[in-house]
Amino acid sequence: MNVRVVLVRPRDPNNIGAAARAMKNFGFRDLWIVSPFPATWEQIKSAPHAMDVVESAHVVDSLAAAIADCNLVIGTGDVRRASDEDQPMTPLQLSERLRQASYRVALLFGNEKSGLNNEDLAHCHRLLAIPTNKDCPSMNLGQSVAVCLYELARERSLPAAPPIEQPTAATCDAATELARALLHDIGFVLPGNEDDLMRRIRAALLKYELSSYDLNMLCGIMQKTRRALRLKQADE
């Protein structure tokens, strides 16, 4: 099972260590850390029996770099932040989905203070929430990682699912940038609304989980449209 744990802007070195230990407990090793607080990273002294996971972690400056080669990005967070039409899945439901097809999965965990922000969530195909008591809904970062990976590890005894042809996060980002260029060409982008517009376009591409073939076709249409616009402008 190809699962990557991505910690986004973690603040507490103990939580990074706890997440690494949970990964080692359940047989996962692919840890990426996005923009950790400098003091946090420097203070990691030990993760019992899991320092090898910490020492081999990839530390990057952007979420896009951490998920570029993944084709299913799952953001963990508060169920109350989800829209009515996009209710979060549970760890068990994610496990059941991975039983049907083999993805390169990135599990995103936000920092302890504010979780994942809207820009982070715009990179996610789906949101995942751990069912908890409404009187105490939040969990420690290390505990959250452990609960999610426990459910996924249970599937390892089953036959491997067939791989799925779905575009990577980097391919979806490239399609989003192509859409940005086309919208500028036709004057659709208004001052002040560009960032929100592009978040919505990326979210739509991820929500409908287009196949690689369909996304390539869409990009081809946008490229030919841009080329036709340039030719028309040249003739004028």
6, 36 Cβ separation under 8 angstroms: no
DSSP 8-state assignment for residue 155: G
Q: Is 62 helix (H, G, I), strand (E, B) or coil?
A: coil
| CA distance linking residue 102 with residue 160, whole number of Å | 7
Output the pLDDT for position 209. 83
| CA distance linking residue 134 with residue 128, whole number of Å | 16
Output the average pLDDT for the chain: 86
Q: Which of 32-36, 159-163, 230-234 has the lowest mean pLDDT?
A: 159-163
Looking at domain 2-157, its CATH class is alpha beta
Q: How many CB atoms lie within 10 A of CB 87?
A: 11
pTM for the full predicted model: 0.84
Helices (H) and strands (E) in the chain, counts: 10, 6
Chain center to CA of 203: 11
Mean pLDDT of 95-107: 87
For residue 47, what pLDDT band results from cuts at 50, 70 and 90? confident
